[in-house]
Chain A
Amino acid sequence: MTSSAPESLSSVTENSSIRLQAVDVRIDERSILRRISTSVATGKITSLVGPSGCGKTTMLRVLAGLQPISGGKLSMPSLDMTRGEVGFVFQAPGLLRWLNALQNVTLPLDLCSRELPKSERLELGQQRLSEVQIADAADLMPRQLSGGMQMRASIARALVTEPKLLLLDEPFAALDDVLRRQLGQLVVTLCRQRQLTAIMVTHGIAEAIDLSDNVIVMRDGQIVDEIDVAKEKTSAGDAKSSAELHERIYLAMSGGHV
């Protein structure tokens, strides 16, 4: 499966700004990521897929600066974490239960070092809530929101600082299929509007193919395949290429076992 990787990699590396070179991560003497080398294209949506425990979330945490690396090099030029230039949507919504939806959304503006008047912060928060289609829920407390609404608020919170990089860690894992699809499309729309670089961890192969421009396949702490989805789709009929891509990703994830 890895035979096609260099070919795909070349297309992914074009216009890239985030670069990992032989990155190792060890946690409690256990090797979680092993010599990861890749680049992420700016303004594109990239999915990280792979079986449970393969290191997807760790890789996302490395990019967010939440997990130190044990070896190798990570270059992320021109991103200031303290000014909210990186947004993160976690697997669980992680809303602060003592703040209402709007206060939760504007929280990053209070936390990162930006001097904005309160009225402006509230306006920005309200705008983000409208974009994720829960404008009416601004005054509601997290316990009054459904799971889908909480996740929408979480997405709005990640976008409120207008980040340059958006990281999403299986954000739709706990949602039903209909909501998954709706929120997936919503995230794509919001990212495209902003020409945002987004990296999303997902279990779903179909979701990765549908939503992303590039797919990075991981297994046992290593990258085993990288695919330029948009290019692959245009080179063949959409339905046919989707089926082929699905099969290719599945085989890479499973190590060739059917």
Chain B
Amino acid sequence: MSSPLTRTLRDVLPVLVLAIFVLFGWTFAASWWELPKSLLPTPLECARAAWMYRQDLIGGFVGTGIAAVAGLSVAFVAGLLMSIVFEWFPWLRKAAFPYVMLLQTVPIVAIAPLLIIWSGYTFRTVALVTTVVCLFPIINAASAGLRRVEPEMSDLFDLYHVNKWRRLIRLQMPASIRDLVVGLKTAAGLSVIGAIVAEFFVGNGTRYDGLGTLMSGWQAMAQTDALIAAIVASTLLGLLLFGLINLLTRTLLSRWVK
């Protein structure tokens, strides 16, 4: 039997070794072929740029984070409510669900300009685009969850003639928590993508600064080292959101999710 520390090391070590290998290969490639800094800066140069622009990056990280969380929250509430309405009115579900599917198929880059026309170059637009991106996984998961009630449980509630409100609160909502958590995790990853893509369109020339606006600015000035630092920051933001949702579900919803 190995100790927990040994087991953790055994899990983490291959990941670390691969990371060191990639960073070394990257540094080697950039200096061997003498590539210009604007095309491929070394990891060290990226780290230096990250330090130099730390205040911008932190501001962008927070700005994009707030937009992602705002969009995700609105999508969660709206998606859940829509799923409940679909569950209670099957004819409405039949009529509207094909259009909900369109949310999944319409490219985000296509709707962002339209939403800017309607909502302006504002934080609200970024959150709105994020909401549109996150809505489908939430509705999909919530709809599946509300219907994932074992027949015996459903019969038990029928036996006592329980009304649909109490059935929703006492049976369907708790039964759907697992699906909702899965949907929320999927949407969390998409929310950062949605926010950054929206910021590409919204950002320049406004007071609002997110990682997407920083990226498009640095891309225009060919500051590749800072651009890569922003990409790393957006990845960290996605991981942070995913981790927070994991933590939230583990602590608050352990009874349902296990």
Determine the distance from Cα of A61 to Cα of B152 in the docked complex, in whole angstroms. 12
Determine the distance from Cα of A143 to Cα of B256 in the docked complex, in whole angstroms. 11
User: Cβ of B160 and Cβ of A108 under 8 Å apart?
Assistant: yes
Stretch at the interface among A35-43, A80-88, A246-254: A80-88
Contacting residues, chain A, for B153 (C-beta < 8 A): 94, 96
Contacting residues, chain B, for A145 (C-beta < 8 A): none
Determine the distance from Cα of A107 to Cα of B159 in the docked complex, in whole angstroms. 12
User: Cβ of B152 and Cβ of A82 under 8 Å apart?
Assistant: no
In the complex, chain A residues 9-60 whose Cβ is within 8 Å of any chain B Cβ: none
Please give me the residue from chain B that is nearest to A96 by CB atom.
B153
A155 to chain B, nearest CB (A): 13
User: Cβ of B157 and Cβ of A92 under 8 Å apart?
Assistant: no
Residue interface mask B125-156, A partner, CB < 8 A = 1: 00000000000000000000000001011011
B10 at the interface (CB under 8 A from A): no
* Count: A-B pairs, CB below 8 Å: 53
B116 at the interface (CB under 8 A from A): no
In-complex Cβ contact of B161 among A82, A92, A107, A110 (8 A): A82
B77 to chain A, nearest CB (A): 22
Chain B interface (Cβ within 8 Å of chain A)? 150, 152-153, 155-162, 166, 170-171, 174-175, 177, 255-256, 258
In-complex Cβ contact of A88 among B150, B156, B258 (8 A): B156
Determine the distance from Cα of A179 to Cα of B171 in the docked complex, in whole angstroms. 30
A65 at the interface (CB under 8 A from B): yes
Please give me the residue from chain B that is nearest to A94 by CB atom.
B152
Given contacts A90-B155, A92-B150, A143-B258, contact A98 B174 (CB under 8 A): yes
In-complex Cβ contact of A92 among B152, B160, B162 (8 A): B152
Given contacts A96-B153, A111-B157, 5 further A-B contacts (CB under 8 A): A81-B161, A88-B156, A91-B152, A96-B175, A107-B170
Determine the distance from Cα of A209 to Cα of B156 in the docked complex, in whole angstroms. 28
Determine the distance from Cα of A137 to Cα of B153 in the docked complex, in whole angstroms. 21
Determine the distance from Cα of A141 to Cα of B254 in the docked complex, in whole angstroms. 12
A–B Cβ pairs within 8 angstroms, 16 of them: A61-B155, A66-B159, A81-B160, A81-B161, A86-B159, A88-B155, A88-B159, A90-B156, A94-B156, A96-B171, A96-B175, A108-B156, A108-B160, A111-B156, A111-B170, A112-B160
Determine the distance from Cα of A82 to Cα of B159 in the docked complex, in whole angstroms. 8
Given contacts A81-B160, A88-B159, contact A94 B258 (CB under 8 A): no
B56 to chain A, nearest CB (A): 45
